[in-house]
Every structure is written in C-alpha cells, then in structure tokens.
Structure 1
Amino acid sequence: MELSQTLAQEIVERAMRILPGNVNVMDASGLIIGSGDPARLFTRHAGARQVIAEGRAVALDAVAAARLAGAQAGINLPLYRAGELVGVLGVSGADAEHLRLPAELLRLTAEMLIEQAAGQPPVTSRMTAPLLRQLLTPGAAPEVGRHASLLGLRPELPRDVLLLEFAVPAPGFGDWAQQRLTHSWCLPRKEGQWLWYRPGAQAPEALLGELPGQGWSLQRSAWIPEARPWSGLAETTQRALDLLTVARRLRPDLVRVAQDDLALPTWLQGQAERSHGAWLLEPLLRLRQADRDGQLLATLRSWFAQDASPQACAEALGLHRNGLRHRLERIQALTGRDPRRFAEAADLYCALLLLDQDWANSQS
C-alpha cells in the first residue's frame, strides 16, 4: 500500500492538535508528503531514510541532526500496515526521549487511519491494547488520555472493572465483549484472564450468564462496581486483582464474587506489602514464635471461622470447652488481645488475614 498525501496530511493535522512541535509524515522512500511546515513538503527526510534502512525508531538530538542535511531534532518512527513498512512519522522537538511516548501513541493513531484507508477495519484489540495499558498504568501522563480521546476510546466515561478467569483460555472473548457493550474496553491479563472495563456499572450477572452459550467456562469473576474515569482505573484494577486473590483463598466456593462480599479482606490484601501494617501483625508474630506446633494459630482460625461461638469452635477442634478456654487465655497472654472481646478480636482477625497473606505470598 502507498501512503497518500491526503492521508498523510490528515495524520499531521490530528497529531498537531495535541503536540506543540512540528509533525511530518513521510512515504516509504523518505519523501515528506504531510507536514505542519509547508516549506518542508516534498523534500527528503534524512531521519526517515535511516528509519527505513534500519526498520526501527530513530531519535536525533541537536548534535546528530546537525550532521544530516535538512534534519531537525526529534524522533522518527516507522508506520506499518500488515507487517509492511508504508511510511514514517516524525515529531520535532529538542528532547527526543521526552517525545517518545506521545510519538508512540500518535503512531497508533496513524496506523489505525492507514488501516481504515485501506478499506480494512482496524483490529481494535491490536491497535488499542498498548494505549489501554498506558492508560491503566498508575500515574499515567495526561497526554495518554488525550490520545485515547483522539482514537475515540472515550476515556472520560466512568467504567467499572470486571475481572474474569476462565477454566481454559478464551481467545475470542475480547472482541465479543467490546461488541457486546459499546465503549467498553477489554484486555487480556494472563492466560485465561481478562479485564473488562464496562461503562454503566450494571450488575454483571446477565452478561456472565451468556458466557456458556459462547463456549466459555467461567472459573471465577471479581467485580468492582465503583465506576471511575480512566485516571482512577489503575486503582480499581488492583482492587479487582486483590479481590480475586482473596476469593481464591477464603471463598473458593464463590464463582462470582463482588467487592462487598470480601471488602475488609480485600482492603487488607492491598495493605499486605506496606510496612505501616507491621504494628498490626506484631502480636501474632509473637504468638507464632511461641506456638511451635501451630496449635494456637489453628485455634484462632477456627474461632473466627465459627463466628466466635465457644460450643461450635470446641466441637470443630474436638475439644472440651474448658480446653478451648485454656487456649484462648494463652492467646490473650501471648498477644495482649482477648479474642472474646469484640474490639480486640477485630485486631486479631485483621492481623490473621495479613499473616495468612504473607504466607501465601511466600509460597507463590
């Protein structure tokens, strides 16, 4: 495919809406056929010719640009369609490395326009996945959101997060999900897992009920119903991952789990690697050090599993109630917290969740 001058100029005009510097688009021979500087049209671009020769992005600082006739500092990236190099995108600027991210994002836009001009609908997942990953990075730069708007991704729409884990990989799920819900985003995370960002934050039961009919076997889903624009999705994505981890450990019987089902353990999961939680763990670490056979920790787990019922806990452990009382008193003596008193039991319960999470992390 040959890159037309009309298309090249359209790419330039779109790019210059959000970038302060000049933008050039060159054809596969290095000829400038679109530019924000009319004086540069139909001249040879030295940086582009290097890109074409080497098949990679080329950044030029002021010193390197001075050695090439007519070149300016900036970054130049190859444009591809179906694996074929069809042109080069050049963005001028003194700090080439600073321009790399916005230039890469502009390249996505340009390649999508090239696909459309060739009469082929762009492969949405291939075109947008790199940009979505940038959007979902904590602390993503504002220009990433502007590029998403340029591609029509509607980053300003509040979206919830639905994390799905399939029994076997579901490679067609992403295309189905994006067609099923307009303006939703879908990203594969790892084998068998998909992140689905849905505008509207409706309960997912009806959609999940459609999966077997598509031939997909859902193993577990984790839903964070709080809908947020793109700038808040990195946080809710992490919460969905924490919720899935907690559900596997504490409620393996649940296939469809929502944040409210395990709100406190999910929050604690997010705190597990933060040093400021050490004060909460300290009493249980003393207990674990003294509890060489693990008897007292097992008793504490059973106590909470049986909702602090002395009779039920004693039966679950095969103990007389006096034997259970003796163990609870030892736990109180070692930790300084009485599991029979609500406020102190809450401390022990949260600490136990953190302790078990530390153990799970050490085994993974």
Structure 2
Amino acid sequence: MLELDLPLAQHIVDRAMAIVPYNINVMDAQGMIIGSGDPQRLHTRHEGAQLVLANRRMVEVDEQAAACLRGVRPGVNVPLVQGDQLIGVLGITGEPAIVRPYAELLRMAAEMLVEQRQLHAERDWQRHQLEAWLRHLFDPQVSLASLQVEADRLQLSLHWPSQVCVLELNATHQVAAGQARILTALRSISDCLCAPLSATEVLWCRPYSARRDDRAWLAQADEREWGVARLLVSDPVSNLDELRQASQALQALKAFSAEQLPSQRLLELSEHRLATLLHSQRNSWLLKGWLQPLQQLQAQDRTGVLMTTLSVWCRHDGQAQVCAQALGIHRNTLRYRLERIAELSGIELARFDQRLQLSLGLGLLTPQG
C-alpha cells in the first residue's frame, strides 16, 4: 500500500488549489496535516480528520463544530482511499454548503493522483528488479537456478533466440545524460531488456536478427549524440544457460578488445572467439608457456622490426611475395628476417602448428612501452 508522504500531499494540494479558490489540506492516516495551502497549519493535528478516519465517511464542520475541535476550521473533510485501504483525508476550508460540491470532485482527483503515483512506484520497482536480474547474469556467484526462479517471479518474457550486447559509453561529463537517453530508447523497443552495468556501460538483451545492421545502429546513435564508444555483440543464444554464458563471454571480449583492439567500435564475439578465449586464460601456466617464444623474440627485438615483420607475415598467411610487398622490402630481406625470428624464438616456421602458435600469440602479447 502506498502511504501519503509530504511531497505527494503537497502536490495534491497545489493541483487542487490551482482549480478552486479555497484552502486545501491533506492529512495522513494519523490525522496530521502534511499538505496545505496554509503553511502555518502543516504538521498540526486535525481532529476533524480523525473523525473521518474513525468513521470512514465525510465529515462536515460548521462554525459551531469547529469551535469545539482542535486544529479545525469550517469545511468538508472526505476520506482518501487507495484500493480498500484508507490512507488519509482531504479537507476543503469554507462554508460546508458552498464547498460541499467541490469535495467529491477533489477527492476523485486526489485518488487518481495517488493511483498514478502507485503505478509509477510499481513500474520503478519492476524496472529495478529487472535491472538487478540482468546484472546477475554477469555474476558467477549467482546460480543459474536462482536466475531461473527470479525470472519466473518477475514473469520475464525471454524470447529465443536472443542476443546480448554491451554498450560502452564515452566517459565525458555528459555520460549520465547519454546513458539515460539510451536506456529510455531501448526500453521503448518491444521484447528488449536493458540495464546500466556501470556509469559507462549498458547491457542490452535483444531478439536475434540476422538482418540487423549494427554499424547503421552505431551511426544513428552518433546522430542522436548518445555517446556510444563501442558495441560488443554476442552470438545468438537459445536458453537461459547460454544467455548467462554469452554475458560472461562479453566481459572476456571487452577485456581482450580494450587491450588489443582499442579503436574498433563494433566487436562481434563470432569474429574474436578464439582470441577472446585465449586472452581470458592469459594468466594460466599453460598459456604463459605458449607465449614464451614470442616474449623472447619481443625482448630481443629492440627496434620492433622483427615483430612487425612477423605480424604482417601472419596476416598474409605466410605468403612471402605478398608479405614483402606489404612491408616494402625485397624477398631476400624478408627471408633473412624470418630466419632471425626463428632463431630468436626457437619456433620452426615451416611447421603449421608453430606458425599458428605465433599468429594467435601476437594477439595476446602485452605491447612494450
């Protein structure tokens, strides 16, 4: 049940007194005046309101009756009801015969304002519960069973296949306003769920569509000045378990892309799946051993020429002529550099598995400053 508070009570008074030329009081469920056109009457007890609360009916007070009651002036006092609950009293000051016609109309208007406030409160509560549920997708401490129970309680309508996205926002002084605009826009889209993950991140769960053009969406976001820096997109998922895994995979993609692809705005998990997986394991003993040959090369390549050559060579799938042209060097120079790379790293470049090790490892190395 919604309780009358001072801001709501005064809002009712201000709206009513903009219509009728009489003072209006709003009393709470204890008969205290918490909203009034006469500030001196605020926070005083109204015995007429207590009579209304005790009898659950209209109470009219004339001059004679007012003289016998504390804190009361002539007028009409009517109960305010929300649902089946008596939540307060509305009083209109004046000769009862004159103000009586206004009383019922003002009560109806006041109860509509209370109901509107209640609906807003329920919507806000529902939104906060939904946002908390979405954030729990990223929390490995929250079990999948708990997520399912909470989804059922909130009556979430999850549509499959779905797709998880994370929007990273530009960290400017207007980031809060941009985030608010994005959330408002996304909430208006049918079958979409969204929540702020942090001051500069928004989680967006949307129905999957193979025809969706995310580059065009980013262009529209720029036109609307939403301040979207990057968009990270998961694979389509078909159930809650996959939704949880996709959400956590985006966190790994975010960490990988921030280090290795800082200028790329659109990042699709499907294009960086293996690199993301390896990056998420970058502190493991196995992967450290895998990266050791490259780190040896990097440590001894003071000018960076060999690392650049290796990167271009891997990018062109080991095609010597194309690689030499891309680097602007002679094939003999390229051959010498590759021999030097093999010598310093201990990798046999003729072996496919070891070339693959170098190629994937390049995307996991921490750049040297």
**TM-score interval w.r.t. the shorter chain?**
0.5 to 0.7
* TM-score normalised by structure 2 residue count: 0.56
Contact 2:168 2:200 in 1 (8 A): yes
Classify the secondary structure of the residue corresponding to 2:123.
coil
Residue 145 (structure 1) aligns with? 148
RMSD of the alignment, in Å? 3.7
Structure 2 runs not aligned, ≥5 long: 4-28, 31-86, 88-113
**Residue 240 of structure 1, CA deviation:** 2.2
* Aligned pair partner of 1:178 in 174, 184, 187: 187
Shift of 1:349: 0.7
Amino acid at match of 2:168: E
What TM-score results when the alignment is normalised by the length of structure 1? 0.57
Kept in 2: contact 1:115–1:122 (CA 8 A) = no
Which segments of 5 or more consecutive residues in structure 1 lack a partner in the other structure? 4-27, 30-85, 87-113
Same amino acid, percent of matched pairs:
27
**Could you report, residue by residue, the CA deviation over 1:204-246 in whole angstroms, capped at 9, with x for unpaired residues?**
3278265456543543322112214333334212322343455
- Report SS of the residue matched to 2:312: helix
Q: Report 1:171-320 matches (<5 A).
A: 171-182=180-191, 184-200=192-208, 202-205=210-213, 208=217, 211=221, 214-247=224-257, 254-320=264-330
Letter paired with 1:348: L
- Asked whether the 8 Å contact 2:137–2:247 carries over to 1, the reply is no
147 and 248 in structure 1: CA distance in 2 versus 1, 3 angstrom threshold: closer
Q: Which runs of 4+ in 1 moved over 6 A?
A: 114-117
Letter in structure 1 aligned against 2:362:
L
CA spacing shift, 1:236–1:139, aligned 2, 3 Å? same
Give the direction of change, closer, same or farther, for the CA distance of 1:166–1:314 in structure 2 (3 Å limit). Answer: same
Residue 122 of structure 1: aligned partner: 123
Q: Is 1:136–1:230's contact at 8 Å kept on the other side of the alignment?
A: no
Opposite residue 154 of structure 2, the aligned amino acid is L
Is structure 2 residue 349 aligned with structure 1 residue 339? Answer: yes
Residue aligned with 2:334, SS? helix
Give me the whole-angstrom Cα distance separating, in 2, the residues matched to 1:226 and 1:275. 32
**1:190 positional shift:** 3.3
Letter in 2 for 1:199: P
In the alignment, which residue of structure 1 is the partner of 2:162? 159
The separation in 2 between residues aligned to 1:210 and 1:290, in whole angstroms, is 47
Contact residue 260 and residue 364 of structure 2 kept, 8 A: no
* Distance change in 2, residues 1:115/1:175 (3 Å): farther
Which amino acid is the alignment partner of residue 266 of structure 1? T
Change (3 A) 1:316 1:115: farther
Supply the distance in 1 between the matched residues of 2:156 and 2:222 (Cα, whole angstroms). Answer: 28
8 Å contact from structure 2 (residues 160, 238) kept in 1: yes
- Give deviations 1:104-133, integer Å, cap 9, x for gaps: xxxxxxxxxx99992325124433222322
Question: Structure 1 residues 212 and 332 mapped into 2: Cα distance closer, same or farther (>3 Å)?
Answer: closer
**C-alpha separation in 2, matches of 1:352 and 1:310:** 19
CA distance in 2, matches of 1:259, 1:135: 17
Q: How does 1:45-194 map to 2 (within 5 A)?
A: 118-120=118-120, 121-123=122-124, 124-141=126-143, 142-154=145-157, 159-167=162-170, 169=175, 170=178, 171-182=180-191, 184-194=192-202
Deviations 1:294-341 (A, max 9, x none): 332222122223443323433444433222211211222233323354
SS in 1 for 2:234: strand
Distance 1:297 1:236, change over 3 A: same
| Higher gyration radius (CA) | 2
Are residues 204 and 244 of structure 1, via their aligned partners in 2, closer, same or farther at CA, if it must alter by over 3 Å? farther
Kept after mapping to 1: 8 A contact 2:163/2:234? yes
- CA deviation string 1:150-172 (max 9, x = no partner): 11224685532122234463222
What is the CA deviation profile of residues 40-68 of structure 1, one whole-angstrom value per residue up to 9, with x for unaligned ones? xxxxxxxxxxxxxxxxxxxxxxxxxxxxx
